[in-house]
Structure 1
Amino acid sequence: MPKDRKAKAKKARQKEQKAAELKKAHEKIEIAFYKELLSLLDKLEVIEHVQYFDRFDIYSCFRFRSSALIFEQVGSRKPTLELEEVSKALLQSYMKSQTYTYTNGAVISAYEVFHILESFRYIIGFKVRKQEPHYEEIKEKLWDLKEFLDRCLIDVQETIKIWLRIIGWIVSIPDKENILFKTEIEVTHNKEDHSLDYSYTRKFRIFYEAIPVERRSVVVEGLRRPCYRFQVGDVNGKIFNLTIKRELFGFKGTPIDVYFQSHALERLAERLDGLMIGVSLGLCITEIKRNPIVHDVGGGKYLLDVVINDIKLGYFVAYLIEGYLLIKTFLFVTNTSTPEGEKLDRLSGMAKIDKEYLGIDRLSTFLAISPKDAPELKELLEKAGLGYLLKMDGSTLAFFARLNPFNRATDKSGAISCYFKKRNELPVLSDLQ
């Protein structure tokens, strides 16, 4: 019995100690929040209007603040690639770098809007709606700030969804699994024994789920081969499947489902090598959905334009097989088998091996090179209608290339200049005669 009493007493002391440490940590967080809030209100030049709020109002700002982004897995299938750490790192980077400018010229970050000022914005609206003490002064002095923060918050929440869509592309494996995201803002209502009020906390929850890619087999050149649905996950908890109007192929009926072979995926990764494969696929689906351009080249063969951010990068080579559009490969725009590539060949006399040596058969070269460092190539590309390939600095493609930790693009301007110099030094056949 004495031993039991000692064990219970020890357990009680540990519980009290833990509660005291938790309370101390809570107080530290609360004080830090008040300091940040008052500092931001001072920066926005509205600190003098805090007099219209009582202590409970300010405390409510703390209790109603937004939590950190909370990720929760849905379903039993765990994503193959690490998701939460990548997501948190990218979203935190965005929220600290994205800024908004108030009418007085003060610049605040998305992080400050989301985690500090959002709850103050809510309290302004609450007091005016309920016509609580000083509501007229609050409406006159602070309503412009509330509307500014309303716009900022909507932008932050929508941009978080855009980033989640991109993250889904990054961590998906196109021939294996897609990642679905869904967001939810939850307001928890917990009664605390040590407090006379109720605790309200906004929680921004992000649910994610790994879904297998739809797979089927089709007969290609007499052999049955696997193919994969051209699809990506979205932020509404659903899969987006690419379909193309049948009329673009000269037929009537329901839209055609699009599938791809693994070879097409390999060529896409190889030739759009500055981008992560999931990002390449996601950008392709987004652009083709918006504006599908199909060329019938005969023999049941079609070229499907791949245009990203108004930059034409090449073509998917596809065939209608068993009622589906099957993508067999991807051609970079400089490839000999494309209309632009044929024109480039005629103008330059280049062979496939020349393009491979110069690296102009893939995206990374154009992301790394400056037009002024390769004037001969610039002139040649412009004659072939491909001058835009040297103008990608600051584009969406350049942005996504910076996100790729495996991007090893190197500036080949030296090798390109040397190549053209050597070509110009070769004797002309008529001179030899």
Structure 2
Amino acid sequence: MTAEQKATAKKALGITVQIAALLVITLQYAKSFSTPAMSAIGAAYAPAGVDSLMLKNIEGLPSLMAIVGAFAVGILERYMKKKTMLIIAMTCTLVGGVVAGLMPETIEGFYGILACRVVLGFGRGMIFPMASSFIADLFEGRQRDRLMSFKTAVGGLSGSVFQLIGGFLAVMSWRYSFIGYLFIIPIVAMIVLWLPEPDVKPAGTTADGKRGNALKSITVAAWIVILLAGVWNFFQFSYFTNISLCIKEAGLGDTGFAGIISSTQTLAAAVGAICYGAFLKGRLRGFDLPIALLGEAVGFWILTHIVSVPGYYAGAIVYGLAFGMFNPALILQIVKVLPKEGATLGLSLLAAAQNLCQYFSAYVLAFFAGLMGVAATGQFAGWNVAWPLATAMAVLVAVIIVITKAKHPELIAGLKEPGKQSDIEKTV
């Protein structure tokens, strides 16, 4: 593609392309449709001999397969177009979701649901890195940064909406919560019609078009970001796994109150992401990530030390704001330290590391709880581990940033960039 053609292509990236790019992340949260139906599924399959441990695989398998799907993106991009991969991922999400609702209420039918969850999880794993890589590949400068932040907000809000729809459908039948995946068809259609193929060579492609070593495009700085982000996911997602359990153990309320607190956190995360993209990015002297980590640490501290209804609202809001800021800051940081052609592979490795560490989170938290002497705090043990380690992680990341700023400030994503508008921004 010539320089003139590239300029023309950039000007064509109007509002519909931006909408389509943001809609990709909503498919990552489509799993929320069936989450409210878990108890109904358990009741339906109990006569077939399905126990609670087997039932947990309905939620666990998609997370496990997401690791495989994320890795697959980095491999498949060398053999097919990115939009083709995205269509495969969307098909897996749609088919894996809807078909599960058609299974008979027998043990064979239950295993059929699990097979569908494997397909769904694979597609979900592919979508996670691609939701960021399409934005990174298609957009530049401030427009890219804002869209990355808005992506986090759109994802969280869509998950809440999908869960509400799924809950309403599950009241009628557990099957309807799966058939609710049909609601994503308009989203899929808009993505297929509006989202263009990025003009970026796959990682490892040589100047003459031959395939080289893709991992050579992953810089040392990117590996450090991937490692630290993966490690932090051992602790970060303890909020989501423990919130309802801690509320129950503390006697603060029922599942309804837990749902309200979760919704509060989701809304706060959306606000945090929007605020970060709108005016915080570039104003924190590059310390975006450690500030977000400290915010999450404060949220965990509130939840473990102010165990009351007002305290839990405050903790959810603080954690949510920080979580909403952390995600776009992390994505922008890894994109910053990667060459353009390495963005998709780097993001797929990041997603795989995060999903892998999230999967083993419970075991790691239990180990540290014993090591730190907080195992006796029951369901609060994970958070009692998370808040001091989040503080330590924030200090570590801040030190790395200070050292990097002194020698290679161009590697820090949070530093203020020149006020020059990109061609894309001028068309918006």
The structure with the greater share of residues assigned to strand is: 1
Report which of the two structures shows the higher radius of gyration computed on alpha carbons: 1
Greater RCO (Cα-Cα under 8 Å, separation 6 or more): 2
TM-score, scaled relative to structure 1: 0.25
Question: Which structure has the highest helix share of the two?
Answer: 2
